[in-house]
Structures are given as C-alpha cells and as structure tokens.
Structure 1
C-alpha cells in the first residue's frame, strides 16, 4: 500500500449534541488507515452509533471534518459516500423482496446496470454463500444470512472503506464468530479498510487497530498493543475496563 495514500477515514474534532441533551460526542479524532481493520470499541451509550451517523451523513456535525479517502464529506459528499460501503445496526433489507432483488436495487442506486451489475451480484452471492438463495425471500433467511447479504450489498460497488455498526447484534455465537472472521479475511485479502463498531471484546483481534470510545470521547487509539500499553494492561479486556472505568464525562 502506497505511503502517500490518504487514510480511508479521517475524523477531525467531531462533536455532537442532541437537542437539550448532554454532548453525545466530544472532540473525536482518529483515522482508519487504508487496508486496516479498525475496531471502534465502546460500551452501550458510548456514542458509537452517533459517530457512524455523522460518518454516513445521516447527521451533520456543527464543526470538525470527516474525510473519506481524502474526500471531505461536507464539501464533496457524493465522492465521499461513493467510496464507502455501510452496514447499519438495524436491518435495512426489504423483507418482501428476494435476495437478488435486494442486490439489484442496490446496484441501480450505485449506477451499476447490465452485465456489470449481473457480474457483481453473482460475485456477491458467492462471497456471502448465498448462491442457492438468490430467489429466496429475505424474510425466510436466518439472521446470519441476512447479515451476510447486507455485507455483500455494502461491497457491491467496490468501496475502499466498509463501515459496520454493531453488525453481530442479535446473532448466535457461531454466526457472530463466522461473520467477524469473514470480514477480517476480506479486509486482509482485498486490502479493504474496515471500521467495525462493537461493545464485544472478543470481536477485536490482536492484529487490529483499536479505538476505545467512552462517554463520547476517544480514550485511546492505535494498535491493540499500543492501547494495552497505554492502559498498562495485559489484555484487551483489562485495557477496556481500565479505560472505561468511572464516570463517562
């Protein structure tokens, strides 16, 4: 990977407060290097979903900057969003369409049509292990299959950054582990940058980059080893406990 490439995602001094509420995010800054798997780890209520809402332009921060592959989200939203694939925490598939129909609709939204769309959809089905489920209604899929489909859909336009908001919530242990491993493998093999938010320590792998968010603030960021060193801890769990202990503010 070229050293001159900009970060896949760069956040600069982002803050956000809901109406009449305490700040949800306060001066958040960190980056996701190209080709890296970056885990955004924080307890429930830490501000992870709010942060991803800013990154995906569902919300707009009053200040600070979001850059996706060098594109400023505020000044060049089309280029920034086009470089990003997103998997939201809440299911966004149409349950009353088939697997293929969901993918076709997404392809059209990204300007893919004809042979290219068909090729990408075939590749997506193979990647998700859903080759035999193309004509199945999404409503009939298991939770794990739905998540695989959402991830495949998020990659359909070949983004350089994939953002996932607690994508394993509600899944059984085996499905959760399989999806974590599959996204790590895709990141490693394809050079895709990933920002994966979670409150589950076991979803963080030793080779990952790690950002610990608590009370709307970044408590530590860097390699797993660096974060453990900052917390003077012998494991990710110990580091997480030390960095999120006490009051959030």
Structure 2
C-alpha cells in the first residue's frame, strides 16, 4: 500500500482502482490498471494521446461500466452503490459545462439544488469557494461575459461546492494563459492540503506537477511508472519530468502527451 509521506502510517484511500481493464470492441484501452488516491494528496496522471486517461475518468464517474476489476470511491463501488458512491466525488471536465446565459450565482445555486444543499448554506459555500478563487466580485455576472480562465474557476468552485472527498480534474487548465494556470495549480494543491481532499489531475503540462505529487504515467493502457514525481525522475536518470516522461513512453516531444 502507498503511504502518505506526510504521515507515519498508511492511510485509507479515497479512490481505489484495482485490476481494471476496458475494451472498445477488439481494441484494449486499459490493461489491468491499479492505483490509489489518498486524502490530502494530488495524484498527477500523465499519458500520451490515446493512453486511456479519458476512458479511466469515464469509468470512475460511471459514464462507462468496467467489465473487469473494481473501482471504489471512499470504500464504495459505484457499480454496486450507484449515486451514493458518487456523492463524495467532484469533477471538472475538460469540456465546459456551465450554462452561459445564467450568472455565476445561478449556475452554482442550480448545482447546489441538485445536490440537495439548502439555499442559505449553498450561498455561504459558493461565496467561500469563489473568494478562494478570487472570483467573489463576479458572482452576479453572466458566465457568457467571463473569459476562459474565469469560467474555469467557476467550474472548480462548482466542483468543490458539496465538500467532496475526491476531485477529478480532466485537463482543467487547457487553453489558459500561464498566470491563470499557475494560480489554479496553486489553489488546487492548497485545497488538497487544507481540505484533506484527494485529487486526481490529468494534465499534459509538466509544470503543473509538483515534485512531491504522486505520479502515474499511463501509456498504451498500462501504468509504466508510479511514485512521487521527483522519485520517478530520479529513477529514470533524466534531468526533469519531461525528460523522464519521454524515456518512459518513448516519445519525442511534449505534444505527444496531449490528451
């Protein structure tokens, strides 16, 4: 079992993926994938195009059902518990899913209502989330008027509104400028630490992975490296994460890992 280096003993994972495989017809997308995500930790998922990252996220969120293996969120299998198992999960998808014609507040209130959160509590939660993301002053603006970075921050606020124990982020900073990306990366890491939340972050940008983050390298549907990012780099003998990644998957450029 993996251990949280900040603690003396093993911890209970908020996400367990065990021996999961998946096929699209005769093509195998995932091959016996196993890993854990722990509270208070960011787990970065790196992999080239077609490695199986999107398939993996679809299985965890139960858009697809895994024909083999087992997935558990806080000890519960979504295949067995349905929506109850998904309740501790927050998700930020790669594709925007906000209603552009509603205000920030209306979008977040709608989501809170779906989660059964009463309006007074929902308003308090959304204000805290938006303040943490430097978005409180835009609460009454229509989403359509926001730039890409601000919209992404609203989606992150929505993803944490119900106090999840696990957050999945699928390329959450795609298309954003460097300062905005840096701010979001910093906030997610701080959120994981202070909120004791487990984070699974799929990214194709090496600078979004901190040296102490847990790292999974996925290629051709299999995990080929795991461990603290700095340890994976050291084990390959590379100078940096980009170099280590290229050695592990046999790629030549950073573009090879675009998901």
TM-score (norm 2): 0.90
Instruction: Note if 1:191 corresponds to 2:196.
Output: yes
1:217 to 218, 222, 230: 222
Q: Contact 2:109 / 2:119 at 8 angstroms: preserved in 1?
A: no
Does 1:37 pair with 2:42?
A: yes
Aligned to 1:87: 92
RMSD between aligned residues: 1.8
C-alpha distance after superposition, 1:113-165 (max 9, x if no partner): 13211211221221222212111110111111111100110000000111100
- Does 2:182 correspond to 1:177? yes
Which residue number in structure 2 is paired with residue 52 of structure 1? 57
Report the CA distance between 1:244 and its aligned residue: 0.6
Q: Look up the match of 2:110.
A: 105
Counterpart-to-counterpart distance in 2, 1:73 and 1:124: 27
SS of the residue 1:147 aligns to: helix
Matched, 1:16 2:22: yes
Contact 1:65 1:73 in 2 (8 A): no
Q: CA-to-partner distance for each residue in 1:96-128, whole Å, 9 max, x for gaps?
A: 111000000100111101321121122122122
Give the length in aligned residue pairs. 246
C-alpha contact (below 8 Å) 1:44/1:199 kept by paired residues: no
Inter-partner Cα distance in structure 2 for 1:157 and 1:78: 14
Alignment-derived partner of residue 156 in structure 1 = 161
Indicate the residue corresponding to 1:63 in structure 2. 68
Contact 2:51 2:220 in 1 (8 A): yes
Query: Partners of 1:213 and 1:4 in 2: how far apart?
Result: 24
Structure 1 Cα separation of the partners of residues 150 and 184 of structure 2: 10
TM-score (norm 1): 0.93
Which blocks of at least 5 consecutive residues in structure 2 are unaligned? Answer: 1-6
Structure 1 residues not aligned, in runs of 5+:
none
**2:39 is paired with a residue of what secondary structure?**
coil
**Aligned to 1:227, which of 209, 223, 232?**
232
